[in-house]
């Protein structure tokens, strides 16, 4: 079955960077896109961007352009997302999700909590 | 891109049917049949309930159904059960080739 295993919780200071990982299994890694979505405390879901694991091409939400980098390692079936210049408002749970069609998120990881605190 | 508009909360008694609306614009819901719905229990991973407006993934109860008219998509839950109490989010593909989520709806089973 499709499974996504995400990296563990992080605590970071403002201005720092954080790098998330999302290891996929149960399907052909290069066949499904992967989205990143976050949820700040008390807020709704926010789409951050998508990566095509086959080509490595990415498409980012406008709010994150310039601060987010998405990469992949096909040898380990892992996708990475780095978020830089962290702000207090980046405190959130960050999810990765697979997408077989480019249009919906079929299976989700359990999320990684990031706390930005001075 | 502004979030799609959903009611903050919807409630119903067990066995009843409820409908959650999701209103967008002509640059997202109004043009594309790529609307999906997600159930989210706090502290857990979201779960896909409906994709491409009205398709149910394998394993999702047929009590869940989706539809679209103009710029508004809807999720209907029939035969409401206690386990359906959760937050629900719609999501649409957009003309900018992005994705946008709805504001979220808290479903309460009375």
Contact B9, B108 (CB under 8 A): yes
Please state, in angstroms and rounded to a whole number, the distance separating the CA atoms of residues B18 and A54. 41
Say whether B91 and A109 touch across the interface (CB within 8 A).
no
Sign of CA dihedral A42, B22, B38, A82: negative
Contact A107, A97 (CB under 8 A): yes
Can you read off the two tokens belonging to residue A103? 């249009």
> What pLDDT was estimated at residue B1?
76
Residue B72 in this model has a pLDDT that exceeds 90: yes
Contact A71, A22 (CB under 8 A): no
- B22-53 confidence digits (pLDDT tens): 999 999 999 999 999 999 999 999 999 999 99
* Chain Cα centroid distance, residue B49: 8
The nearest alpha carbon in chain B to A98 belongs to: B48
From chain B, pick out residues whose CB is under 8 angstroms from the CB of A104. Answer: 34, 36, 48, 51-52, 91
Nearest CA to B102 among B68, B72, B69?
B72
Start-to-end CA span in chain B (Å): 35
- B1-12 confidence digits (pLDDT tens): 799 999 999 999
* Chain Cα centroid distance, residue B77: 10
Residues of A26-50 as b/e, b for ≥16 C-beta within 10 angstroms?
A: ebebeebbbbbbbbeeeebbbbbbb
From chain B, pick out residues whose CB is under 8 angstroms from the CB of A106. Answer: 48, 51, 57
Please state, in angstroms and rounded to a whole number, the distance separating the CA atoms of residues A112 and A115. 10
CB atoms within 10 A of CB B69: 10
For tokens 């909360």, the residue is B9
Rg (CA), chain A: 13
Can you read off the two tokens belonging to residue A66? 């310039």
pLDDT by 10s per residue, chain A, length 118: 999 999 999 999 999 999 999 999 999 999 999 999 999 999 999 999 999 999 999 999 999 999 999 999 999 999 999 999 999 999 999 999 999 999 999 999 999 999 999 9
Mean pLDDT for chain B?
A: 97
Nearest CA to A110 among B4, B66, B78, B44?
B44
From chain A, pick out residues whose CB is under 8 angstroms from the CB of B100. Answer: 47
Say whether A105 and B93 touch across the interface (CB within 8 A).
no
- What is the H or E stretch that residue B88 is in? strand B86-93
């Amino acid at each position: 079955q499709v499974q996504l295993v995400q990296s563990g919780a992080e605590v970071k200071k403002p201005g720092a960077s954080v790098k998330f990982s999302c290891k996929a299994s149960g399907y052909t890694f290069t066949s499904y896109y992967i989205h990143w979505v976050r949820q700040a405390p008390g807020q709704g879901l926010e789409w951050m961007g998508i990566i095509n694991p086959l080509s490595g091409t990415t498409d980012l939400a406008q709010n994150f352009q310039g601060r987010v980098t998405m990469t992949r390692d096909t040898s380990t079936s892992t996708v990475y997302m780095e978020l830089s210049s962290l702000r207090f408002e980046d405190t959130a749970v960050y999810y990765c999700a697979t997408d077989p069609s480019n249009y919906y998120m079929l299976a989700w990881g359990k999320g990684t909590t990031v706390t930005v605190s001075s | 891109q502004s979030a799609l508009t959903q009611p903050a909360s919807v409630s119903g008694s067990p066995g009843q049917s409820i409908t959650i609306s999701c209103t967008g614009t002509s640059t997202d819901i109004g043009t594309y049949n790529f609307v999906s719905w997600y159930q989210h229990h706090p502290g857990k991973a979201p779960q896909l309930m409906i994709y491409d407006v009205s398709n149910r993934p394998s394993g999702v109860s047929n009590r869940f159904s989706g539809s679209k008219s103009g710029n508004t998509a809807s999720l209907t839950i029939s035969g409401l059960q206690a386990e359906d109490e959760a937050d629900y989010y719609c999501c649409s593909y957009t003309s900018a080739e992005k994705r946008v989520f709805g504001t979220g709806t808290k479903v309460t089973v009375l």
